[in-house]
Amino acid sequence: MRLNEGKIGLQESACIAAVAITACSVFLLDSEKAYSHGDATFISLPASIAVSLALFMLMWYAMRRTGARNLNELFDMCAGKAIGAVLSIVAALIFILYAYRLMARFCILIHGRVFAAAEYESVALWIAVPVAYAAIKGLECISRLAKIFGVMIGALVLISLIIMLPAYDISRLAPFPGDLGKLGMDTVSRSADSVAAFLGLICVSGALQGARNVKKGALIGSGIAVVFVFMIQFALGATFTYTDLSQMAMPIYLMKMVVMRESYLFRLDQMNLFFYMIAALIAAAYYIYCAALIITRRTSGQDIRPAVVGVSALILAALRVNHRFEAGIIQRSIDFLYDYAFVAGVPFILAAIAGLIRFGGKGRAYEADK
């Protein structure tokens, strides 16, 4: 079998979770909606990660109780094979959607800010091929990339936040906390952006060498992500007013330009953009791999490569369709569903509860922990 899972340690699993959660939370935020009534994202986004972590813990306990070894087995044992197959399709679509969103966001930014003279399709291909290659090489490759580049990009973010100290003004956070109803809604709705990373850890649990490592990787990775998401969003709120933020596609990209203008460091914003893109593409490769792994296991395949190529080709085609044929049709659909994406997690909650009830006190130890 060529599923290319391999074995990874706690550091790698925590890094891939932290990179994926942070990338989706920060890079995929809809600024126009998030900052429409003030800026409380430094509260709502970390809280949303905690909400998705609660969903993960529920599924993890169901995994322990049922003795399931991966996501497909968990769905089958909790809800039966027929419904389990449907839940696997939903999970695979979630992985594909977030891989697409990350790649689409940086295709637009790289094409618009750096390679404006190039064809959009060339930029999309330049981004999609390395992502597909990393996914084909497997989980060990992706997780080690996350460990290496995650530390580097984390240090870059910290340095950037320190450089920005002269530009911070806490008064720019007003009105705080803004609309409390919207704050609560944002907390729940944005939890969808973290769910895929947690589902991925359960999907590749066999490579993590035990359910305890799955749990530890999720807790450590989400803790790191919460810290970075809070620091980034608080710094953005102290640098720009909420009305300015609502007009920026990805505010973190423009942040250092406030203090670097008229200096020789001014164009470092483009270098930072490439580092941010690396983080996003590592997360996209992780999601493509997880989607391909679900498909391969569900179809009793022996080789993950055809599924990776198929998923990557589907995403590349979607990028072209969204840009060329019916301009923005996919993005408009995503925007329409933006506030309701969390509903996709409801079937997983119900399945986990059903598994816990079904197995009751007959829980079986996860075989890797025996």
Tell me the average pLDDT across 243-262: 73
pLDDT at residue 57, rounded to an integer: 96
**Could you read off the pLDDT of 174-223 as tens digits, one per residue?**
777 666 777 888 888 888 899 999 999 999 998 998 888 999 999 999 99
pLDDT above 90: percentage of residues in the chain:
56
Q: How confident is the model at residue 364 (pLDDT cuts 50, 70, 90)?
A: low
Residue 38 per-residue DSSP state: B
Q: Establish if 364 belongs to a structural domain.
A: no
Q: Establish if 365 belongs to a structural domain.
A: no
pLDDT at residue 264, rounded to an integer: 47
pLDDT at residue 370, rounded to an integer: 42
**Integer Cα distance of 243 and 239 in angstroms:** 12
Q: Establish if 359 belongs to a structural domain.
A: no
Inter-residue contact 161 to 235 (CB < 8 Å):
yes
Cβ-in-10-Å burial (0-12, 13-18, 19+) of 260 comes to: middle
Query: Whose structure tokens read 């942070």?
Result: 22
3-state SS class at 36? strand
Please state the φ and ψ torsions of residue 300, each to the nearest 5 degrees: 60, 35
pLDDT at residue 215, rounded to an integer: 95
**Integer Cα distance of 137 and 289 in angstroms:** 9
Closest CA to 65 of 52, 83, 53, 77: 77
Tell me the average pLDDT across 356-369: 64
* pTM (predicted TM-score): 0.93
Q: Establish if 343 belongs to a structural domain.
A: yes
Helix axes 305-320, 268-298, angle to 10 degrees: 130
Inter-residue contact 255 to 32 (CB < 8 Å):
no
Q: Establish if 55 belongs to a structural domain.
A: yes
Full domain range(s) for residue 78? 10-348
CATH number assigned to the domain comprising residue 148 = 1.20.1740.10
Closest CA to 229 of 32, 25, 16: 25
Cα distances from 326 to residues 114, 313, 321, 333, in angstroms, run 24, 18, 6, 12
Domain count, the chain: 1
**Integer Cα distance of 336 and 130 in angstroms:** 30
Q: Establish if 354 belongs to a structural domain.
A: no
Helical H runs in the chain?
A: 10-27, 31-34, 41-66, 71-79, 81-113, 120-137, 139-163, 180-189, 192-203, 211-239, 242-245, 251-254, 257-260, 268-298, 305-320, 329-337, 346-359
Specify whether the backbone of 263 is left (phi greater than 0), alpha (psi in -120 to 50) or beta: beta
Q: Establish if 293 belongs to a structural domain.
A: yes
Measured from the Cβ of residue 220, the count of other Cβ atoms closer than 10 Å reads: 17
Find residue 363's DSSP bridge partners. none
Q: Establish if 15 belongs to a structural domain.
A: yes
